[in-house]
């Protein structure tokens, strides 16, 4: 374990994004802001505490190798699935959904943690190349994805439910599944979409989607307000006229619509900075996945990256009026303990994989001095351990 | 190959970000928005949804949501004009202290809202709430509403909102059928399978019971819910308390929408933005006839006991073939309008008891309103005796006035009243004269179990299934429930005494079965299918009983013969159910049907503490029947 091998770029991206989140929260909680009176300093304090706890947990997780997680992949998946099932039976209703487990002052959202354990479980299954070839290889990961999709869908939490299947597809693709099988899966999904649309969705959910097909239909008030907020940000942030109040009352502004705060306050500059940080984050994650020799590590990194990538796309899209409202958070930026903790745990996992990647040239090249790696000395014991896996 | 795939996926992740960036450039650089709208005040509120109407069988409106103008006030803006409250008082024709008190109430609400919030947040909440419209007066006059709306300068910060107010045009008539509404704090927890029901907020309770449209909870912030709750918005939602309003609530209830009120404090201009459309409820058509109920209410109001005092009288009329109730009501009734805000405390207090009349109680069907039945139960005894072949209609018994010397409680009523006797009686004449001794004799022949079985089949001791809330099941005593059962108890039960208690609707169900040829019906007021169920009573037995019931009214010695009933084509049975032996007080009953040969109406009349059924209940039944005969054919 070498802290020197930490990927500082990735870490910096994550921390800067978190800083943007805290900044937005402080804007919303400021005493002058009468539009979102529901967000208070207490939220800010809570988020800072969440941040501290998450960072400490993430730091601790850097020490054991990510290979350890492989051993617990199925177990943790099972625990999360059980929590989701339990939630549907015993869970309390908060705002009409059964998504949160109340634990005193905080409440946990098992669906968030399910994302990580889902990626771990699928990665473990797919890390043996021969598994990808057989028909069974497809059935099991599909079941892995179908279970959380169904459980989260009936909570109901449409936004989180739709993420699992695309992530599965990406992971299968990276694992080297034959193209015809992937194509078959995509076709199945294409058939499933209209069926779900017709029978699985409720009236109001359908209306939200229709908006994007019929241009003459109005966006929802929430999205319209968000668009106005984004536009008022202009290039360098909203200039505050005399006597102006913070105008835009958007429900869930500190969670789902936090991006509109950044865009309103910091304008194009700020909104681009956030997108740029995300781009850098995904670029780094892609690089790490690309150079890691271990298929398990590669799959884990890619799975997590695709999860967050989709979430960023949908969330920012719904803030600027190109995607329907689905109730997804913006990773690292949105308010919310479970979301932040999941983000930091995935960050730790990706960093962990990066710290332990080994170059895929032979040890002979190292020994002969053809290749040298900063901060890395050949250790016979180290190689032995990896080989005995 | 796998590594190339990683590159492909990573690229696919980055590409959409480029698209988003382009959209941002379009929005923020090419089409930047003006901040002009920043000066608007916004406040979130529920959009009221009309509840469905309740109609009678002819389509007359029994309950509907009338428009009302509710005055809301933004205190910060009102304060700008110190003389506004005074002018408001003059315009609304209310004393100034009342207006001042209502305004004070708003300030108190705002203070309360700030409680238990961190000190630092208080100024912000205070400013915000002072800019929020709070309800001041409900249901102001149309002229006042126009005056306020057209003079924003004179009444700054006054907002007139079109509200809905549940209105019951028939007032006290049929109030027990229709029921009434109350504010949501009367709402009970929804039934849950879990042993320990989850603690739900009022909003979640309402949400779970379906008071909001789907998707409502996703449009509204978690904290907004709390804010609305603290302002008491959810408490103002009206939920059904009883009656048809409750049983048919799923159909009647409207789903409130969500709206934002945008106000420009500079110009006073207002704009409603609808977030979610309100969805009105559906109408429900009942089987009752409002005009008939009105006439019957008039008849019942004149009910007098044998002592000449006014008594509480209850009556029901139904179609015996289907069980559809045409009218039900009681002289102890209430005006459901009194429960719709603005309410007056005096009204509500009065309705709670009203000198023991308890007008809120639905005497026709509700539990705790069951009373002793008396001789009408002899119809059940007759059915049980005939059906199981223990006696034939022509079998005679001798009434000596006293049945058993060792049991003084087994005297016939003619002995107690006139020291007389009925002599030789058969079934029809026993019913006609309501001879107790005949039925005591049946007690020797008919096993108690057979009587219990038939009583249950005809609807006693169980709920009839009427579609009104909290129906009572009455009490059908038996040796199983009374371990110290003695012979005298059996005798009492055979003439409908002992601890037998019933609701009028149970009696209605029984008399319907006699009138329609032996089918058990489900008495009902609402729409829906309630198929009759044959009980298997043989026609010749039924004919014998109906002959007896006819004689009650038209026979020379019938217990109801000396009333107006003999002039109308009806049949039935009287009952005088002793409930206080010491003071010889009894409930007066009449249960019958008309016309006698092919019944179209089943009638039950109960005069509480009325004394003899033949003298107090039967005359009321006569007037009701006369009113029914005037009704057009087919009803």
| B93 Ramachandran zone, left/alpha/beta (phi>0; psi -120 to 50) | left
| Distance from the Cα of residue B145 to its chain's centroid | 34
Supply φ then ψ for residue A217, to 5 degrees.
-80, 145
Q: Enter the tokens of residue A35.
A: 């539009």
The lowest-confidence range among A111-115, A376-380, B96-100, B280-284 is A376-380
A positions 113-172 inside 8 Å of B (CB):
170
- The candidate with the shortest Cα–Cα distance to A118, out of A151, A154, A158, A159, is A151
pLDDT for the residue numbered A367: 65
- Alpha-carbon distance A304 to nearest alpha carbon in chain B (angstroms): 12
When pLDDT is cut at 50, 70 and 90, the band that residue A213 belongs to is: low
Cβ neighbours of B84 (radius 10 Å): 20
- Nearest by CB to residue A251, choosing from B10, B31, B224, is B224
**Length of chain B counted residue by residue:** 635
pLDDT for the residue numbered B36: 42
Q: Is A269 on the interface with B (CB under 8 A)?
A: no
3-state secondary structure of A6: coil
Report which secondary-structure segment, H or E, holds A225: helix A221-233
pLDDT > 90 fraction of chain A, expressed in percent and rounded: 37
pLDDT for the residue numbered A2: 66
Give the whole-angstrom CA distance, residue B216 versus residue A251. Answer: 12
pLDDT, chain A, mean: 82
The lowest-confidence range among A180-189, A217-226, B295-304 is A217-226
Examine the pLDDT at A389 and tell me if it is beyond 50: no
The residue behind tokens 């026979």 is: B555
Residues paired with B316 in a beta bridge: B328, B604
The residue behind tokens 């005796």 is: B385
- The candidate with the shortest Cα–Cα distance to B52, out of B235, B316, B252, B256, is B252
Examine the pLDDT at A388 and tell me if it is beyond 50: no
CA angle B408, B414, B416 (to 5 degrees): 40
What number of H helices and E strands is found in chain B?
A: 23, 21
Give the whole-angstrom CA distance, residue B374 versus residue B29. Answer: 89
**DSSP-assigned letter for residue B323:** -
Q: What is the CA radius of gyration of chain B?
A: 33
Residue B47 with chain A: CB contacts under 8 Å: none
Residues paired with B601 in a beta bridge: B594
Q: Which stretches of B353-486 are DSSP H helices?
A: 378-387, 413-418, 427-433, 436-445, 448-457
Asked if B53 contacts B61 with a C-beta cutoff of 8 angstroms, the reply is: yes
CA terminus-to-terminus distance, chain A: 18
Q: Enter the tokens of residue B430.
A: 């026993």
| Distance from the Cα of residue A33 to its chain's centroid | 30
Q: Do A275 and B37 touch (CB under 8 A)?
A: no
ipTM for the complex shown: 0.84
3-state secondary structure of B370: coil
When pLDDT is cut at 50, 70 and 90, the band that residue A365 belongs to is: low
Q: Is A290 on the interface with B (CB under 8 A)?
A: yes
Give the whole-angstrom CA distance, residue B28 versus residue A232. Answer: 7
Examine the pLDDT at A221 and tell me if it is beyond 80: no
- The candidate with the shortest Cα–Cα distance to A330, out of A347, A315, A343, is A315
Q: Convert A314-346 to b/e letters by CB count within 10 Å (16 or more is b).
A: bbbbbbbbbbbbbbbbbbbbbbbbbbbbbbbbb
| Distance from the Cα of residue A292 to its chain's centroid | 21
- Alpha-carbon distance A191 to nearest alpha carbon in chain B (angstroms): 23
What mean pLDDT do residues A95-121 have?
Answer: 84
Residue B11 with chain A: CB contacts under 8 Å: 286
Asked if B248 contacts B526 with a C-beta cutoff of 8 angstroms, the reply is: yes
A positions 66-95 inside 8 Å of B (CB):
90, 92-95
Residue A93 with chain B: CB contacts under 8 Å: 198, 200, 204, 207-208
CA terminus-to-terminus distance, chain B: 85
pLDDT for the residue numbered A346: 95
pLDDT for the residue numbered B28: 86
Give the whole-angstrom CA distance, residue B187 versus residue B241. Answer: 8
Examine the pLDDT at A385 and tell me if it is beyond 80: no
* Nearest-by-CA chain B residue for A317: B20
Positions of chain B with pLDDT under 70: 1-2, 34-42, 185-200, 214-215, 218-219, 221-223, 263-269, 631-635
The lowest-confidence range among A195-209, A264-278, B466-480 is A195-209
């Amino acid at each position: 374990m070498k802290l020197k091998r930490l990927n500082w770029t990735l870490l910096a991206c994550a921390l800067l994004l978190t800083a943007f989140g805290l900044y937005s929260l402080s804007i919303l909680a400021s005493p002058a802001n009468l539009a979102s009176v529901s967000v208070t300093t207490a939220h800010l304090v809570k988020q800072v505490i969440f941040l501290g706890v998450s960072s400490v947990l993430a730091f601790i997780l850097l020490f054991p190798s990510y290979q350890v997680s492989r051993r617990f992949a199925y177990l943790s998946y099972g625990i999360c699935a059980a929590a989701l099932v339990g939630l549907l039976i015993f869970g309390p209703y908060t705002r009409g959904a059964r998504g949160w487990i109340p634990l005193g002052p905080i409440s946990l959202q098992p669906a968030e943690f399910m994302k990580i354990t889902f990626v771990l479980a699928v990665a473990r299954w797919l890390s043996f190349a021969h598994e990808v070839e057989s028909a069974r290889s497809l059935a099991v990961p599909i079941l892995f994805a179908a279970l959380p999709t169904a459980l989260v869908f009936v909570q109901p939490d449409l936004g989180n439910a739709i993420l699992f299947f695309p992530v599965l597809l990406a992971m299968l693709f990276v694992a080297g599944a034959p193209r015809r099988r992937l194509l078959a899966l995509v076709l199945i999904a294409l058939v499933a979409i209209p069926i779900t649309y017709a029978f699985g969705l409720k009236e109001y959910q359908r209306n939200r989607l229709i908006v994007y097909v019929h241009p003459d239909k109005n966006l929802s008030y929430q999205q319209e307000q968000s668009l106005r907020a984004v536009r008022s940000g202009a290039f360098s942030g909203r200039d505050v006229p005399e006597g102006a109040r913070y105008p835009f009352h958007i429900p869930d502004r500190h969670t789902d619509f936090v991006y509109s705060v950044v865009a309103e306050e910091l304008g194009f500059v700020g909104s681009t900075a956030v997108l740029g940080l995300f781009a850098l984050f995904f670029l780094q994650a892609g690089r790490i996945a690309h150079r890691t020799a271990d298929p398990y590590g590669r799959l884990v990194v890619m799975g997590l990256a695709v999860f967050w990538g989709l979430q960023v796309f949908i969330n920012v899209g719904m803030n600027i009026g190109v995607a329907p409202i689905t109730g997804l958070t913006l990773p690292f930026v949105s308010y919310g303990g479970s979301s932040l903790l999941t983000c930091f745990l995935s960050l730790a996992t990706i960093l962990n994989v990066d710290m332990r990647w080994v170059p895929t040239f032979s040890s002979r090249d190292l020994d002969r001095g053809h290749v040298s790696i900063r901060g890395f000395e050949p250790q016979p014991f180290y190689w032995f351990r990896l080989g005995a896996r | 190959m796998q590594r190339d795939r990683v590159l492909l996926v990573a690229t696919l992740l980055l590409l959409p970000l480029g698209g988003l960036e382009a959209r941002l450039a379009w929005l923020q650089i090419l089409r930047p928005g003006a901040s002009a709208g920043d000066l608007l005040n916004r406040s979130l509120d529920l959009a009221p949804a009309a509840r469905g109407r309740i109609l009678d069988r002819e389509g007359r409106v029994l309950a509907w949501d009338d428009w009302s103008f509710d005055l809301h006030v933004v205190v910060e803006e009102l304060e700008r004009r110190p003389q506004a409250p005074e002018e408001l008082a003059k315009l609304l024709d209310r004393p100034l202290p009342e207006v001042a008190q209502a305004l004070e109430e708003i300030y108190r609400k705002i203070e309360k809202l700030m409680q238990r919030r961190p000190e630092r947040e208080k100024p912000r909440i205070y400013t915000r709430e002072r800019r929020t419209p709070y309800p001041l007066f409900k249901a102001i006059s149309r002229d006042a509403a126009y005056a306020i709306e057209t003079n924003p300068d004179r009444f700054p910060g006054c907002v007139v909102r079109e509200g809905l107010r549940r209105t019951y045009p028939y007032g006290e008539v049929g109030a027990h059928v229709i029921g009434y509404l109350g504010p949501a704090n009367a709402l009970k927890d929804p039934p849950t399978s879990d042993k320990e029901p989850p603690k739900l907020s009022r909003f979640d309770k309402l949400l779970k019971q379906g008071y909001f449209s789907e998707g409502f909870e996703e449009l509204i912030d978690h904290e907004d819910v709390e804010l609305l709750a603290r302002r008491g918005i959810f408490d103002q939602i009206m939920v059904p308390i009883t009656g048809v309003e409750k049983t048919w609530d799923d159909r009647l209830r409207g789903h409130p929408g969500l709206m934002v009120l945008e106000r420009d404090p500079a110009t006073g201009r207002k704009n409603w933005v609808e977030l979610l459309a309100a969805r009105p409820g559906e109408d429900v058509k009942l089987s009752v006839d409002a005009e008939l109920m009105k006439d019957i209410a008039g008849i019942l109001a004149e009910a007098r006991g044998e002592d000449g005092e006014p008594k509480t009288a209850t009556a029901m009329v139904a179609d015996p073939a289907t069980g559809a109730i045409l009218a039900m009501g009681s002289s102890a009734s209430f005006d459901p309008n009194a429960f719709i805000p603005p309410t007056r405390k005096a009204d509500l207090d009065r309705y709670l008891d009203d000198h023991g009349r308890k007008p809120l109680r639905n005497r026709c069907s509700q539990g705790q309103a069951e009373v002793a039945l008396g001789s009408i139960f002899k119809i059940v005894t007759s059915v049980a005796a005939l059906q199981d072949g223990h006696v034939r209609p022509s079998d005679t018994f001798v009434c000596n006035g006293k049945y058993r010397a060792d049991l003084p409680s087994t005297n016939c009523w003619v002995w107690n009243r006139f020291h007389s006797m009925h002599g030789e009686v058969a079934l029809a004449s026993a019913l006609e004269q309501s001879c107790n001794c005949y039925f005591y004799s049946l007690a020797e022949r008919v096993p108690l179990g057979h009587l219990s079985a038939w009583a249950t089949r005809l609807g006693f001791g169980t709920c009839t299934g009427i579609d009104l809330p909290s129906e009572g099941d009455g009490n059908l005593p038996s040796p199983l429930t009374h371990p110290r059962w003695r012979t005298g108890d059996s005798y009492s039960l055979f003439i409908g005494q002992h601890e037998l208690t019933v609701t009028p609707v149970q009696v209605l169900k029984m008399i319907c079965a006699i009138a329609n040829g032996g089918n058990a019906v489900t008495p009902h007021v609402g729409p829906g299918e309630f198929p009759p169920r044959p009980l298997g009573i043989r026609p010749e037995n039924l004919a014998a009983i109906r002959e007896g019931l006819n004689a009650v009214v038209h026979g020379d010695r019938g217990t109801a013969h000396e009333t107006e009933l003999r002039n109308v084509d009806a049949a039935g049975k009287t009952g005088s159910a002793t409930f206080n032996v010491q003071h010889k007080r009894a409930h007066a009953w009449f249960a019958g049907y008309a016309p006698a040969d092919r019944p179209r109406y089943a009638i039950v009349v109960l005069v509480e503490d009325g004394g003899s059924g033949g003298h107090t209940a039967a005359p009321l039944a006569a007037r009701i029947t006369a009113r029914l005969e005037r009704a057009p054919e087919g009803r």
